[in-house]
Amino acid sequence: MNLDDIITIPDPKLRERSKRIGHIDESTRRMARDMIAATLDWEASREHEFGAALAAVQVGQMDRLVVIRDDFDDKANKSFSVFINPEIVKAEGEPTEELEGCLSVKDIYGSVNRYPKVKVKALNLDGQPVRVTATGFLARVFQHEIDHTNGIVFVDRVDNPRKLFRLESDGKFTALNPTETPTKS
């Protein structure tokens, strides 16, 4: 897979709930590898962004699978972790508003409220249970990606169109013109 396999709004698949994965096999592992490749290919095409994570629905696969970069601070580190059937079991703290972007919403960022700490349970590629306590940016990423598995795109969580911005070619943000507002559900 490559960046061309990443679907963007208004593709209706992005608004559908993904199905749980009942059996992990080679096709599941291949899908995870392909998703990582697509994320890295997308990143290589974007001068001012990096690929933090991707949900299977973003490549048109309606499975509850997400890949999340292991190190957000080192773009040279291209390793990812795979989470199958991820779900937030606990959210803690006062939600904070920060800018988010998405590989499926080209050049648009928006201010989204997210919890600063979440506890997530999932399976790894070996089918073993995984529990993660995520804080900060990782907590935000988990919430964003799990939203994707539930048919929610970050723009659905932006409560005011004035909190939407376009990433310009020089890496700076400009306010989005109200006529450019991305399609909400």
Residues, the chain, total? Answer: 185
The first and second tokens of residue 142, run together, are: 């988990």
141 Cβ partners below 8 Å, 6+ apart?
52, 53, 68, 72, 134
Give me the catalytic one of 92, 98, 145, 168.
145
Active site residue 145: yes
Tokens read off for 97: 């508003």
Q: Mention every residue, 6+ apart, whose C-beta is less than 8 A from residue 91.
A: 115, 117, 118, 119, 143
Angle at 25 between CA 90 and CA 2, to 5 degrees: 85
Active site residues: 145
